[in-house]
Structure 1
Amino acid sequence: MTTPHHNSLVEATPPTLDEVAAAAGVSRSTASRALNGGLRVSPAAQASVDAAAKLLGYLPNRAARSLVTRRTDSIALVIPEPDERVLSDPFIGATLRGISAALASTDQQLVLLLARPDEDGGRIAKYLRSGYVDGAVIVSHHRQDGLEEAVLGSRIPAVFVGRPFHDEDLLHYIDVDSVAGGRLATEYLLNLGRRRIAHIAGPQDMTAGNDRAQGWRDALREANLADDLIAQGNFTKSTAYQAMNDLLRQDPTIDAVFVASDLMAEGALTALREHGRSVPDDVAVIGFDDLGGAANTSPTLTTVRNPVVEMATSAVEQLLHLLSKNAAPRETPIPLVFFPQLVIRNSTPGN
């Protein structure tokens, strides 16, 4: 009686580098170089190795490849914010969408680095200096988190989403012109005839918070109006709710408010409603971002469009360029700055 030979569960052995080299008709070292960047490999040999690897289903060992190329094929997305903001802020969600779209066609792995509560950024800075990633995209950074210094000290290729505080001529960044955005919103309110225009600012240890407040202030001063109605939030609904209450206690005659983010504007709308103020008849409201939530508030929110997805995508594209073999190790930064647009909805009159 013949014993059945069961081989259906036996897994095929993965192809080796030697087998790829033999199939391509090149040496093992040539095959290795071709599979790890193509350094000193002729176009004909590269084509042969690529075809052999595809035919055999060869997948390079990432650890071995890293030893050859001195690359990890990983980039970091650095968000120096606590978990609760990362999970709730539409700005960060839109940033993740833009980065994912830009990396979809690459072999790069994304490493997410978050700050711990009350952390000064030292742990993240140390990680960036340690060679675990090839480059970084840095989002939502703060004045004292040490990340600008870490990038300059380690010389790791990095792109900031948002203008850095220091060394703008040495650091690569993508941003929206937040000063222009603050001015755009405030001038629109002035053109509506509003004269007691308050501002709920973002954190002043972030350039976005500073710049949007500066645009508001510039527009009021050019109109010879007081810029005393300002309160600070931290890009959350709860802090904006409190800020709006404080502003109304300071001056009940407020007839407009420019808020530094749409998420904070939602908190301001709640406070205005509780104080019996009609929006937009009593108080006109303008936010900043237009990342989806502005179309769902009551009333719908006039806002300054912040092209976050496009900025994040552009940041990854710039970083990949810096990592490419054709890019200089330390290119002179050329900032890419988007111009904001005002999106008119029902929180301002006449719409």
Structure 2
Amino acid sequence: MPARRLPTLEDVAARAGVSRATASRAVNLDPRVRSQSRLAVEAAVTELGYRPNRAARSLVIQEVDSIAVVVPEAEDRVFADPFFASMLASITQRLADSPVQVLLAMGQPGGRQKIERYLRGGYTDGAIIVSHHRDDDLSGVLHETKLPAVYLGRPYAGDVGIPWVDVDNNFGATLAAEHLIGQGRRRLATIAGPQDMAAGSDRLAGWRAALDGAGLASDLVEFGDFTSASGAAAMERLLERAPELDGVFVASDLMAVAAMHEIQSRGIAVPEQIAVVGFDDSHAAQLTRPPLTTVINPVGELAGRAVDLLLQLMKGEAVDPVVLQTQMVKRTSG
């Protein structure tokens, strides 16, 4: 399939009924442009999907200058969670032998204006969206601007017309629950992730399906936000609700490590009294005592496939969503 032609500034000017010079000044937010002309240019930019400073390039991999990794999360969350560090490292490594720059755009949940302005501003050739929440409206911006983009992690809303790559979170959580059941654990709990994210809701659904299939109660659910503090607080609530519980599946390693510390701080032995299983297989899983049994979240492969899909899109090729399979790493915590 031939590469798609990007709209030019001349196209914008013609659509808006202004000169090229006026269109250029409006795009660059020159305050001297009359309101009527500015609004006409803004409408033409949106309609045509024009992106400044990219119109002269054909969309071929050798000419891509930069891609943005967009994380709609607070900065402290991004820098504290090893998932994001692994993801960013994998993306940059995938592009290490190319001239493509990797840019990072972050935004506090509930305040996406900066990210939206960045995506609309034409500062990058494509975007990888990570950590998508239900209330994020980035897909609308991406469609309006026609910016090539890929979600790393299935969008909460499902089919938003933008390709994505993800691990089979539902199946991974089922594996974790079945592993605990196979050990003879019968009073099981879970610390689920945020339910406004596909990963959080899918992992909870997989855990519940396994318990329902085994005829076990699935009422012991507490929620976290994938941070260690939320994992510790959720584990505290579970122990208060059900001191007799003997196994817990935690929807991320970061929460699982904190949950294990909370259990052990009460003099409860892991795994003898309570077995713990996480999700991610992060470096932290190997450092706990005992080492954490967990489900593999292949961050490196996810990031690499996301880059590949994005570069294909930039060449005008059609791509489909990618779902990667997973398996458990059995250590000694459960």
TM range (shorter): 0.7 to 0.9
Q: Give the drift of 1:107.
A: 1.4
**Residue 115 (1) aligns with residue 107 (2):** yes
**Residue 281 (1) aligns with residue 269 (2):** no
Give ranges in structure 1 of 5+ residues lacking alignment.
Answer: 1-64
Correspondent of 1:249 among 227, 232, 240: 240
Q: Give the drift of 1:169.
A: 6.2
- Taking the TM superposition and a 5 Å limit, the aligned residue runs for 1:111-150 are 111-116=103-108, 118-150=109-141
- Taking the TM superposition and a 5 Å limit, the aligned residue runs for 1:1-351 are 66=54, 68-69=56-57, 73-116=65-108, 118-168=109-159, 170-324=161-315, 327-328=316-317, 331=318, 333-348=319-334
Contact 2:270–2:333, Cα closer than 8 Å, also in 1: yes
Distance 1:185 1:67, change over 3 A: closer
* CA displacement, residues 300-332 of structure 1 (integer Å, 9 cap, x when unaligned): 0000010001110110111111112xx24xx3x
Contact 1:257–1:283, Cα closer than 8 Å, also in 2: yes
Q: Distance in 2 between matches of 1:66 and 1:122?
A: 22
Q: Distance in 2 between matches of 1:163 and 1:67?
A: 30
Q: Distance in 2 between matches of 1:170 and 1:102?
A: 25
- Following superposition, which runs of at least 4 residues in structure 1 exceed 6 angstroms of deviation? none
Query: What is the aligned length?
Result: 279
Q: Distance in 2 between matches of 1:89 and 1:114?
A: 14
Q: Which residue of 1 aligns with 2:20?
A: none
Give TM-score, length-normalised by structure 1.
Answer: 0.76
One-letter amino acid of the counterpart of residue 99, structure 2: D
Give TM-score, length-normalised by structure 2.
Answer: 0.80
Q: Give the drift of 1:134.
A: 1.1
Q: Give the drift of 1:168.
A: 1.9
Distance 1:169 1:206, change over 3 A: closer
One-letter amino acid of the counterpart of residue 87, structure 1: F
Contact 2:156–2:196, Cα closer than 8 Å, also in 1: no
Distance 1:191 1:167, change over 3 A: closer
Q: Give the drift of 1:166.
A: 2.3
Q: Which has the larger radius of gyration?
A: 1
* CA displacement, residues 95-145 of structure 1 (integer Å, 9 cap, x when unaligned): 0111011111211111110113x5332321232122221110011121112
Q: Distance in 1 between matches of 2:183 and 2:281?
A: 21
Secondary structure in structure 2 of the residue aligned to 1:198: strand
Q: Distance in 2 between matches of 1:70 and 1:320?
A: 13
Q: Give the drift of 1:231.
A: 0.4
One-letter amino acid of the counterpart of residue 236, structure 1: T
Q: Percent identity?
A: 45
One-letter amino acid of the counterpart of residue 345, structure 1: R
Contact 2:249–2:276, Cα closer than 8 Å, also in 1: yes
Secondary structure in structure 2 of the residue aligned to 1:68: coil
Q: Which residue of 2 aligns with 1:16?
A: none
CA root-mean-square deviation? 1.8
- More displaced 10-residue stretch of structure 1: 167-176 or 264-273: 167-176
